[in-house]
């Protein structure tokens, strides 16, 4: 098994990243990851602000042999194994609820027996997910804090065990990096963090030649999601919904546009992923039971 140590990590997705490993389509790879604070918050604390260095490290990048711009990277999340302790860091001024956070605080949370042990009263079932999963963009230098059409900090809780993430390839090799695991996070990420935690993510990486699209697509057992990010939630919602229409139209030859519009309106769900990153992220979910499509246009 190929393993990428967490000491190999990036803080921005850029076109000219140097891969730490090159794999073939179909290979499995384990990404060891730091928590989003790069393990700089080691103990609970109250009333203390930290000057952290290097946030949201993403382990990698891993190149895929033969990937060229216009291809698509298909990443199947086989497993997410979490460390035994998670962290939440509240900072005044950060997050949707910033005005209610009067004093900074670091919470250290034990993750054991499938639960986050939040306090004496609350033990919440974990739902491990990947906050950051992305590839090199065509241009620019996109911090691992931000989401975008290259993936990145999408903070989309459906990117969990069993999910498949499709990312458009923009540079030779694609350059996949993964980080920012959460033991648990709600849609919106109102606190500006989930239960932040390190761990090991095992994925299968496959190259789909061609079929490139304009924003990430995620698939789980029940649904297909278009994940779209923009400066405002209104724009992100519009982008996600329009691109879902285009995604479906390409795959449902012979189906009238009005028919797709109606089925989307009554069976699809427009949802919020996160409201707290440099761009905001929405997702449009459609049930596979209604639209018999997957990412790959021809299903054999």
Could you list the residues that contact a second copy (CB under 8 A)?
Answer: 88, 90, 95-97, 99-103, 105, 107, 116, 118-119, 122, 124, 184-195, 232-234, 237-238, 241-242, 245, 249, 257-272, 275, 280, 282, 284, 290
Minimum distance between the CB of residue 132 and a second copy, rounded to whole angstroms?
17
Choose between 12 and 191: whose C-beta lies nearer to a second copy: 191
CB–CB of 132/177 below 8 Å? yes
Minimum distance between the CB of residue 89 and a second copy, rounded to whole angstroms?
10
Question: Closest Cα to residue 232, out of 191, 277, 284?
Answer: 277
Contacts of residue 106, defined as CB under 8 A and 6 or more positions apart, other chains included, come to 41, 43, 44, 45, 48, 50, 87, 88, 89, 90
- How many helices (H) and strands (E) would you count in the chain? 2, 24
Choose between 29 and 248: whose C-beta lies nearer to a second copy: 248
Structure tokens at 73: 């990277």
Choose between 24 and 290: whose C-beta lies nearer to a second copy: 290
Compute the distance between CA of residue 101 and CA of residue 36 in angstroms, rounded to an integer.
Answer: 20
Minimum distance between the CB of residue 285 and a second copy, rounded to whole angstroms?
9
Contacts of residue 152, defined as CB under 8 A and 6 or more positions apart, other chains included, come to 13, 132, 133, 134, 142, 144, 146
Minimum distance between the CB of residue 100 and a second copy, rounded to whole angstroms?
5
Strands (E) in 170-240, as ranges, are 176-182, 196-197, 199-208, 217-219, 223-230
Minimum distance between the CB of residue 227 and a second copy, rounded to whole angstroms?
14
Choose between 99 and 221: whose C-beta lies nearer to a second copy: 99
Choose between 53 and 100: whose C-beta lies nearer to a second copy: 100
Choose between 163 and 275: whose C-beta lies nearer to a second copy: 275
Minimum distance between the CB of residue 98 and a second copy, rounded to whole angstroms?
9
Compute the distance between CA of residue 61 and CA of residue 136 in angstroms, rounded to an integer.
Answer: 9
């Amino acid at each position: 098994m190929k393993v990428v140590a967490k000491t190999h990590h990036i803080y921005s997705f850029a076109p000219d990243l140097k891969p730490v490993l090159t794999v073939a389509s179909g290979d499995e790879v384990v990404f060891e990851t730091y928590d989003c604070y790069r393990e700089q918050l080691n103990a609970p604390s109250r009333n203390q602000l930290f000057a952290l260095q290097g946030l949201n490290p993403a382990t990698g990048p891993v190149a895929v042999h033969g990937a060229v711009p216009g291809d698509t990277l298909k990443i199947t999340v086989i497993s997410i194994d979490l460390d035994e302790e998670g962290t939440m860091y509240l900072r005044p001024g950060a997050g949707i609820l910033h005005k209610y956070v009067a004093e900074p605080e670091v919470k250290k949370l034990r993750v054991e027996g499938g639960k986050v042990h939040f306090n004496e009263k609350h033990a919440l079932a974990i739902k491990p997910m990947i906050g950051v999963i992305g590839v090199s963009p065509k241009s620019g230098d996109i911090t691992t804090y931000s989401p975008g059409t290259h993936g990145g900090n999408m903070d989309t809780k459906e990117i969990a065990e069993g999910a498949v993430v499709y990312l458009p390839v923009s540079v030779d090799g694609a350059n996949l990096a993964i980080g920012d695991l959460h033991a648990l996070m709600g849609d919106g990420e109102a606190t500006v963090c989930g239960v932040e935690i390190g761990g090991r993510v095992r994925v299968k990486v496959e190259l789909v030649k061609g079929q490139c699209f304009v924003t990430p697509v995620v698939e789980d057992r029940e649904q297909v999601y278009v994940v779209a990010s923009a400066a405002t939630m209104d724009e992100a919602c519009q982008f996600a919904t329009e691109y879902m229409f285009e995604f479906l139209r390409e795959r449902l030859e012979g189906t009238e546009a009005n028919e797709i519009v109606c089925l989307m309106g009554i069976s699809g769900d427009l949802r919020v992923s996160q409201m707290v990153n440099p761009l905001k992220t929405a997702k449009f979910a459609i049930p596979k039971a209604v639209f018999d499509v997957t990412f790959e246009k021809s299903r054999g």
